[in-house]
Structure 1
Amino acid sequence: MMDLDAIGGTARKGMLYGIGVGPGDISYLTLRAAALVQQVDVIAFFAKRGLQGNARGIVDPLMGEHREELRLEYPVTNEIPPEDPRYQEQISRFYEASAETVSALLRQGKSVGLLAEGDPFFYGSFMHIWRRLDKIFPIEVVPGVTGMSGCWTRANAPITWGDDALSVLPGTMGEEQLTRRLADTDAAVIMKVGKNLAKIRRAVTAAGLLARAIYVERGSMKGERIMPLSEGPEVGSPYFSMVLIPGQGRRL
């Protein structure tokens, strides 16, 4: 059996670890991430009210009994648009309170592993805690396989060839701007699909890319669905979904 302690090193007391847990399949965890999940004094994770939290679910097979856990429950997710001042105020207070809670554990000399879906530094909630604590406590960020990497691999779709330029675009972007950016790039990944799916489909079509677009839902997770965007749902999609537009590049 592989000795994770020997490969991944040991967790240091009073240190915060941002642990990237990958796109969903536990086999995509790095050795360092797997070792730390088993070693840190406290496993912290973000979750939506009433749900386990996807990152926490990914590492469940690595969690033994009687582990200390810190659940950081969002006060709001998609109930209010992100641009609404009420959303921004509630989320800002939530991250401040979460950072204080984590700080208290670190001051006690405990090591804390804050889980992050995909990679901690890519659209991750972890970044909001990192920004508040980076100059105060020692922090190690453990990179993870990004959701988009997991999705294009599961879709068997090489995303860039040769000198292709890749654009990563949030689906929350305005339709006109999204269409323009799609038309100006060689390959694209559209994140934050959800309620923006119909708008994204229109923008992809207007940019002349519908024939190449792939819809991926819960890539590498249970319930995975992969299909051409033209055959996918027309309105609304789960949180864990994205649209891929592979580049064509130079075929050698």
Structure 2
Amino acid sequence: MSGTFYGLGVGPGDPELITLKAWRIISHAPVIAYPAANGNESLARKIAAPFIPEDVTELAIPVPMRREREPAQEAYDEAAKLIARHLDDGKDVAFLCEGDPLFYGSFAYLLDRLAGKHPTVIVPGITSITACAAQIGRPLAARNDILKVLPGTLDAERLKQEITGADAVAIMKVGQHFEKIRGVLTELGLAERATIIEKATREDERITRLADVPAGERPYFSTILIYQGSEAW
């Protein structure tokens, strides 16, 4: 009998934001897997660390963060085979995901490869954009506002088009695209209305108005929130 494949959202960074259901599964699963981008320490594992038993089998899944799709697809193929071996042995496998498993998460690629062959349970988690809104104490949107979630990887012209047509915007995957994004927001006259939240809910969290970020600085692990609707905030 196959083990169950769990996709667990562990939230944006604060371990206390893990749901009770995810905590219960982490505490009892014999195998814990998590992504390790480019061989670096896994943030998902770091978030869940207080709840991982000492006697579990851990699978660090190497995920190459590159623009080309092929290396990542090959990594997911190998990861799915590795996880499947444990599932075929009747062991449950819990895959830890930053934020929510199905919101810009690598779990989706494993889901596609494993769900049809093994029982699968997905536990949602707190997303980075909702955590960021909570940290700055400002609603994402209200009433008839249109909220758009945009990846910072879009080209400048597409970003302009999407931002112009929305009351509220959350820009993710900022990283190396920060200067491009700042240029677009400055051109649209929104730099003063944009807030950048780095490492939301973590001990080293930083919240800054976009206009106040020093030239040449590139805030990683960050989300930008912009509101240009009609509500008072």
In structure 1, the partner of 2:81 is: 100
For residue 221 of structure 1, the aligned residue among 202, 212, 217 is 202
Which of 103, 106, 112 matches 1:125? 106
- When normalised by structure 2's length, the TM-score is 0.94
3-state SS of 2:83 partner: helix
Gaps of 5+ in 2: none
Counterparts of 1:62 and 1:245, CA distance in 2: 35
What letter is aligned with 2:18? L
Contact 1:164 1:247 in 2 (8 A): no
Which residue of structure 2 lines up, in the alignment, with residue 61 of structure 1?
50
What is the CA–CA distance in structure 2 between the aligned matches of 1:91 and 1:28, rounded to whole Å? 29
- Aligned residues, how many? 233
Partners of 1:53 and 1:238 in 2: CA distance: 19
Deviation at 1:29, TM superposition (A): 0.8
Name the CA distance, whole Å, in 2 between partners of 1:220 and 1:214.
Answer: 15
Q: 2:40 & 2:105 partners in 1: Cα distance?
A: 18
CA distance in 2, matches of 1:60, 1:223: 17
Q: Distance in 1 between matches of 2:230 and 2:12?
A: 26
Alignment of 1:18-37 (within 5 A): 18-37=7-26
Residues 116 and 126 in structure 1, CA contact (< 8 A), matched pair in contact too:
yes
* Conserved? CA contact 1:157–1:246, under 8 Å: no
When the two chains are superposed, the root-mean-square deviation of aligned CA atoms in Å is 1.8
When normalised by structure 1's length, the TM-score is 0.87
Question: What are the Cα deviations for residues 161-188 of structure 1, in whole angstroms up to 9, with x where unaligned?
Answer: 2110000001110101101111110000
Q: Paired residue for 2:126?
A: 145
Q: Which residue of 1 aligns with 2:186?
A: 205
Change (3 A) 1:66 1:190: same
Shift of 1:248: 3.5
Q: 3-state DSSP class of the match of 2:177?
A: helix
SS of residue in 2 equivalent to 1:44:
strand
Q: Secondary structure at the match of 2:203?
A: coil
